[in-house]
């Protein structure tokens, strides 16, 4: 199956510049790219739940694209509302949800494996989320970088990279008014495993808008479950040879 269109879109993303009970999930803001693994999933569906922030009126807009770059579905979700979005992926192994709710917030939830794209072009943008996300570090990796930004004044965060043994590998904290980097040289025995990124409050600064992206040898994917970080990295890597 040809994957050129879908992989081309992902490569561009990797290289270029509520009413909800999901309190343990990241509350997203602005644009997000969510890759959903659909291989072996009979009837995939994604729940989208929005949260109005202040007086902003922008609803959540979504598009679902399969791995042949075909538009499967598009639509809107009103504010302070929920919507289940079932879709038919056919033989696609993964589908891409493109989401945007302006400055309002939203959650994404599904039982299928999924990951948030966290690249330089499409960074991961959370709102007041203090929690842990997971990413996969492939074998033979030499360097992993995490970049962080908190644009609003008097806001900030502490970002912590933890290795597979749950030891702190690097930290970055403060107001972060411009993109700042923390880098790790993963030892060989900890490559081919799942690492994690913690987002937390920094001293007396308000934890609100936090943007991050991954660079270096790790795929720029952040997952809410460790096993999903592995699965989505495998699916993305497997798409390469078939795209040629």
- How many separate domains does the chain show? 1
Q: pLDDT value at position 43?
A: 87
Q: pLDDT value at position 236?
A: 86
Do the beta carbons of residue 148 and residue 159 sit within 8 Å? yes
Q: Dihedral sign, CA of 112, 118, 122, 124? A: positive
Residue appearing with tokens 């960074």: 123
Q: Dihedral sign, CA of 88, 73, 35, 116? A: negative
Q: pLDDT value at position 18?
A: 36
Q: pLDDT value at position 153?
A: 84
Residues of the chain with pLDDT under 50: 1-22, 241-244
Owning domain of residue 213: 4-243
Do the beta carbons of residue 178 and residue 125 sit within 8 Å? no
Taking the model in full, what pTM does it have?
0.87
Indicate the pairing of strand 168-174 with strand 180-184. Answer: unpaired
Distance, in Å, from the CA atom of 123 to the CA atom of 117, rounded to the nearest integer, reads: 7
3-state secondary structure of 57: coil
Q: How remote is the C-alpha of 191 from its chain's centroid?
A: 21
Q: pLDDT value at position 40?
A: 83
Do the beta carbons of residue 95 and residue 179 sit within 8 Å? no
Q: pLDDT value at position 23?
A: 52
Q: pLDDT value at position 240?
A: 59
């Amino acid at each position: 199956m040809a994957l050129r269109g879908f992989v081309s879109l992902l490569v561009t993303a990797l290289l270029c510049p509520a009413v909800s009970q999901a309190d343990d999930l990241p509350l997203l803001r602005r644009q997000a790219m969510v890759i959903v693994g659909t291989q072996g999933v009979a009837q995939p569906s994604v729940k989208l739940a929005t949260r109005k922030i202040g007086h902003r009126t922008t609803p959540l807009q979504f598009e679902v694209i399969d791995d042949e770059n075909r538009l499967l579905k598009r639509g809107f979700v009103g504010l302070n509302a929920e919507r289940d979005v079932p879709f038919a992926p056919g033989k696609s192994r993964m589908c891409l949800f493109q989401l945007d709710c302006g400055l309002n917030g939203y959650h994404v939830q599904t039982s299928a494996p999924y990951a948030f794209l966290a690249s330089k072009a499409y960074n991961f943008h959370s709102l007041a989320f203090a929690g842990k996300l997971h990413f996969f570090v492939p074998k033979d990796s030499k360097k992993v970088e995490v970049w962080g930004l908190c644009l609003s004044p008097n806001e900030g965060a502490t970002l912590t990279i933890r290795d597979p043994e749950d030891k702190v590998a690097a930290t970055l904290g403060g107001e972060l008014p411009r993109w700042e980097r923390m880098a790790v040289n993963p030892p060989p025995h900890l490559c081919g495993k799942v690492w994690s990124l913690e987002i937390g409050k920094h001293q007396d600064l308000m934890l609100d808008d936090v943007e991050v992206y991954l660079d270096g040898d790790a795929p720029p994917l952040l997952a809410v479950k460790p096993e999903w970080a592995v699965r989505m990295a495998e699916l993305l890597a497997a798409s390469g040879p078939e795209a040629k």
